[in-house]
Structure 1
């Protein structure tokens, strides 16, 4: 599954707005339950070019965003992934 965004500036960060980021994550919800598991998030991370340690990064992302500690990212927790995405995935979420 290719990772596409509108813009990849010279700093290498991919740029998308929050809604595009949410839609991108939904592509990896393989069981269509509305939740992003560590396996699904790890698969998403691999598409950004982070082939090594994607499961470890997925766990860090889940830990950072999972406010109810159920082990999944729900739609209302996606915004918590924004900082993680910029820092670890080189994805910049902007308002446009």
Structure 2
């Protein structure tokens, strides 16, 4: 189920700011779950867990800048978000 009421298009930076509410430069499963819920999407916990597992290449539990493109790809494919490189 795509995220409802998402903007027509996001930049990668806008997407990162939307998800990284702590501002520490890393995206946790909890932050992603909250962001998905803010958009009214169902199964936010399951989707957030799957997204972080797929994006987190170093398996530290967070998505950092080096892994952000993996998370963006997941959001495009599985959350129906339109995220452009710039």
TM-score by length of 2: 0.78
Q: For 1:91, what is the secondary structure of its paired residue?
A: coil
Q: Name which structure has the greater RCO, CA cutoff 8 Å, separation 6+.
A: 2
Give the gaps of 5 or more residues in structure 2: none
Counterparts in 2 of 1:3-42, with a 5 A limit? 5=7, 7=8, 15-26=9-20, 28-29=21-22, 32-42=23-33
Give the gaps of 5 or more residues in structure 1: 8-14
TM-score by length of 1: 0.71
Runs of 4 or more, structure 1, over 4 Å off, are: none
How far apart, in 2, do the equivalents of 1:33 and 1:86 lie? 23
Number of residues of Structure 1 aligned to a counterpart in Structure 2: 82
- The answer on 1:72 being equivalent to 2:72 is no
